Structure 1
């Protein structure tokens, strides 16, 4: 039986201590490879490792603002530097960059599952399906981690330079002592796509829990990935593949806007569940929604009441997370699929198709009868309309920074970013390299 070095467990200890699943249930075997299907599934079901995604890109985006007092209340220099977009020193003073380390923990444990599953011989049809689910889930979760790393730590995908643009390491074997080389942006996205194509072959149509992936989730993440690459034809193809099994939208008229968190956890619209790290950012009342964003919602748009709450001091806070709590949701939904499809069609000249996608979404977001297909068809700039709806629907989902990053490649003049903090103004130059978070120094020093 192969064993893994204790140094790995020590390195990942801040992440896995207190988590439910394999590492808690079998503490005496925490440095031993899981032996059977049940162990592998328990490892993949550790939501405190796998169902988490970065938050620093959310903090860097343009969906909110804060006051000088709010800036001070964030406490962490990592949050403060992300807020004013001083990325070069964002991890300074932090011995463990959780945002980086956790994603590599996801890759490592996925690699364990892929390696061990290959040595297990299923005894019956039930075990065959269970093992297939493990293999598909491991491919999906590795792809998710690599995608999130590329999103934050690599240059925007550019088909003219990505073959030579250096990105990140993406190890494919569970050996912490075998440092993989830094690959290119092209190689990174190719790995994500290959893993997701493999995943969809093994995953079930319906997962037992929303925290587990499905075939639809793999297609949805492929659609998100291709959109992030500005490959609109393939983004449309995979969004349509994902929606072949149906589109389940949450009717906002059924929600109670008087609740602290009106959107229920694991609702019918959610394809795959994931939350962002918190660091106290999302729950802080000084994280105030950008006024122009708030005012962009029509009064008959139910999202205005469901997503936001106005405080006595007129501060507007977000409370519409699909996590059902203050945790910021970043998983996959049918609404996102419709918006990927709509943008892809609009950019390819299919304006009527784009209008149809947006209308399907807005029917579930507006008061009944408040919006019609004819109104949407009359929009003079369909692409701008679709992008506006994308921004309004996907607030604090961890997608806005990625959108700004790809918009800047398409047309830098469309990206105007600045922070106003009291009397200070921080201007952001939308050069490709400026959108990239630094790789932690500890990672560089290991090589």
Structure 2
């Protein structure tokens, strides 16, 4: 029988949720999944390239970049065009690669296969350190993908009504025949939290490679998750725990580079987990996207990121080259992000001296040596932290979700871009901040679509 690649089967599985088609269910997803008899087999299931790909759709929708008219006209994928122009794509079309929805649920499916197989494996052969690490990795991958899908397709999290708002379909087993429904936001984030907690207890303190999760990676994603939930005490707690586990700031004064891209993810000591956006959309191509001039200009001349993160194109436009993954857009967590989470949460809790100290420590690693940093007044501290967060985490898949959460707190951020001479605006708290669920999923499963 001709075996289908796992990511194709899992994507079809979620897009056709759930049809009960016997001919489809009769086909095994992948040879590796057909007879997973060893821990190595199970670990291999979690090692596909797609398991390291984050949701790119929300990054396409940010206004940190723009396209020239000719490049916009050259977009060949309708999903890409509609995301960029905020026109509500509800048919997630394959562009340069699989969509964030497809990658995400494919990896969730892999994780569920492994968790179910591990239950049988450990019942037969007993629990070992290696089997527990693989289990932790599966919980981590299920959590991180549910989280990113929830941030893009789910409603913004507000604790007071999270039990009434729509989350996403939670897939917690590998049963193709299970009826698919949307969980509430409270249920969605409760499950993500539980999976991350389990992962943090099972994963090793240090991973063999940066692309493998560690305890610090799980803790760091919990800090990112709690910040999105506006749970500032827990965000601070887990950012602090992360930094105690490992990860330190890189002093850009001591950083030298050559070549087209300055960073290599495997050699960057700030990186806690090496993840990148999916690369599915041509608009995100390094040669196509242009950094907004006012954003580039906001970096002062003594900010070393201005030199390291950017280069000038021949036409005078600005190119972003500061991804920790080279040509791919890095979207993992770093020690610097944890510093900024701590600075923001402490500012919100009015622990101004501690927030200011954290921010200054961070800036000393980014600004030219001996730069005099003006005293930041308490009233301005939170705004400064938010600005530094945008500058530091540029093109990492967090800007769109930051705008969602900040607007839920009353920030009133609206995004603007000019497309062929016409100004397009995405207002604060607009329903389009919650992407439409792919129409195939809605049609075949009956799950409720996001409101418009």
Distance in 2, matches of 1:97 and 1:41, equals 23
In structure 2, C-alpha distance between the alignment counterparts of 1:157 and 1:424, rounded to whole Å: 32
Among 313, 324, 344, the alignment partner of 2:315 is: 313
Q: Which moved more, 1:260-269 or 1:279-288?
A: 279-288
1:147 deviation in Å? 0.1
Aligned counterpart, 1:441: 439
The Cα shift of 1:192 comes to 0.6
Higher RCO (C-alpha 8 Å, min separation 6)? 2
Range that drifts further, 396-405 or 156-165: 156-165
Is the CA contact 1:217–1:332 (under 8 Å) kept in the aligned structure 2? yes
The one of 24, 35, 38 equivalent to 2:37 is: 35
1:9 Cα offset (Å): 7.0
Tell me by how many angstroms 1:313 deviates: 1.1
TM-score by length of 1: 0.89
Q: Deviations over 1:356-406 (max 9, x none)?
A: 11122222212222244xx34457500000000000000000000000001
Distance 1:10 1:405, change over 3 A: closer
Query: Residues 338 and 358 of structure 1 are in contact (CA less than 8 Å); yes or no, is this contact kept in structure 2?
Result: yes
- State the distance in 2 between where 1:365 and 1:8 align: 42
- Which residue pairs with 2:136 in the alignment? 136
Partner of 2:358: 357
Q: CA deviation at 1:6?
A: 7.2
1:263 and 1:306 in contact (8 A); partners too: no
Q: What does residue range 260-279 of structure 1 map to in structure 2 within 5 Å? A: 260-266=260-266, 267-278=268-279, 279=281
- Alpha-carbon distance between aligned partners in 2 of 1:93 and 1:377, rounded to the nearest angstrom: 47
- In the aligned structure 2, how far is the partner of 1:331 from the partner of 1:411? 27
Is the contact between residue 207 and residue 213 of structure 1 (CA under 8 Å) also seen in structure 2?
yes
Q: Residue 257 of structure 1: CA displacement? A: 5.1
Query: Could you say which residue in structure 2 is the equivalent of 1:70?
Result: 71
Deviation at 1:27, TM superposition (A): 9.8
- Whether the 8 Å CA contact 2:249–2:335 is kept in 1: the answer is yes
Q: C-alpha deviations, 1:236-265, integer Å up to 9, x for none?
A: 111111111244122223333553100122
Distance 1:97 1:176 in 2: 20
**Which of residues 404, 410, 422 in structure 2 aligns to 1:424?**
422
In structure 2, the CA distance between the partners of 1:410 and 1:128, relative to structure 1 (3 Å rule), is same
Q: Structure 1 residue 121: deviation in Å?
A: 3.8
Name the CA shift for 1:218/1:350 in 2 (closer, same or farther; >3 Å).
Answer: same
Contact persistence 2:344–2:382 (CA under 8 A):
yes
Post-superposition Cα deviations, 1:213-237, rounded to whole Å, max 9, x if no partner, equal 1111111111000100111111111
Deviating more after overlay: 273-282 vs 253-262: 253-262
Per-residue deviation, 1:179 = 2.8
Q: Any conservation in 2 of the 1:153–1:439 contact (CA below 8 Å)?
A: yes
Label 1:113 to 1:133 Cα distance change in 2 as closer, same or farther (>3 A): same
Instruction: Note the 1:77-156 alignment, pairs <5 A.
Output: 77-89=78-90, 91=92, 98-121=99-122, 128-156=128-156
| Cα shift readout 1:128-185 (whole Å, capped 9, x = no counterpart) | 2211110111111100010011010010001222101122111111112223321111
Tell whether the 8 Å contact from 1:147 to 1:192 is kept in structure 2 after alignment. Answer: yes
Partners of 2:328 and 2:214 in 1: how far apart?
23
Q: Does the CA contact (< 8 Å) of 2:247 and 2:335 recur in 1? A: yes
Q: CA deviation at 1:445?
A: 2.3
Going from structure 1 to structure 2, the CA distance change for 1:382 and 1:443 (only over 3 Å counts) comes to same
State the shift of 1:44 in Å. Answer: 1.6
Secondary structure of 1:313's match?
Answer: coil
Say whether the 8 Å CA contact 2:11–2:106 is kept in structure 1.
Answer: no
CA offsets 1:315-372 (integer angstroms, 9 cap, x no match): 101000011x210000011011111111111111111111111122222212222244
TM-score by length of 2: 0.88
Q: Separation in 1 of the partners of 2:363 and 2:35?
A: 48
- Farther off after superposition, 85-94 or 99-108: 85-94
Give unmatched runs, 5+ long, in structure 1.
16-25
Spell out the pairing of 1:3-402 with structure 2 (5 A cutoff): 11-12=9-10, 29-46=31-48, 48-89=49-90, 91=92, 98-121=99-122, 128-256=128-256, 258-266=258-266, 267-278=268-279, 279-323=281-325, 325-372=326-373, 375-378=374-377, 381-402=380-401
Give CA-to-partner distance per residue, 1:386-427, whole Å, 9 cap, x none: 0000000000000000000011111152x0212112321112
Contact 1:336 1:394 in 2 (8 A): yes
Please give the alpha-carbon distance, in whole angstroms, between the structure 2 residues aligned to 1:31 and 1:92. 27
Q: Are the counterparts in 2 of residues 9 and 31 from structure 1 also a CA contact under 8 Å?
A: no
Q: CA deviation at 1:88?
A: 4.2
SS at match of 1:206: coil
In the alignment, the residues of structure 2 paired with residue 219 and residue 8 of structure 1 have an alpha-carbon distance, to the nearest angstrom, of 29
Whole-angstrom CA distance in 2 between matches of 1:93 and 1:277: 12
The superposition leaves residues 81-136 of structure 1 with CA deviations (integer Å, 9 ceiling, x where unpaired) of: 11111124463698x962212111111111111111122249999x7221111011
CA–CA separation in structure 2 for the residues paired with 1:148 and 1:303: 27
Residues 345, 354 of structure 1: 8 Å contact kept: yes
Gaps of 5+ in 2: 14-27, 446-452
Say if 1:133 and 1:204, in contact at 8 Å, map to a contact too: yes
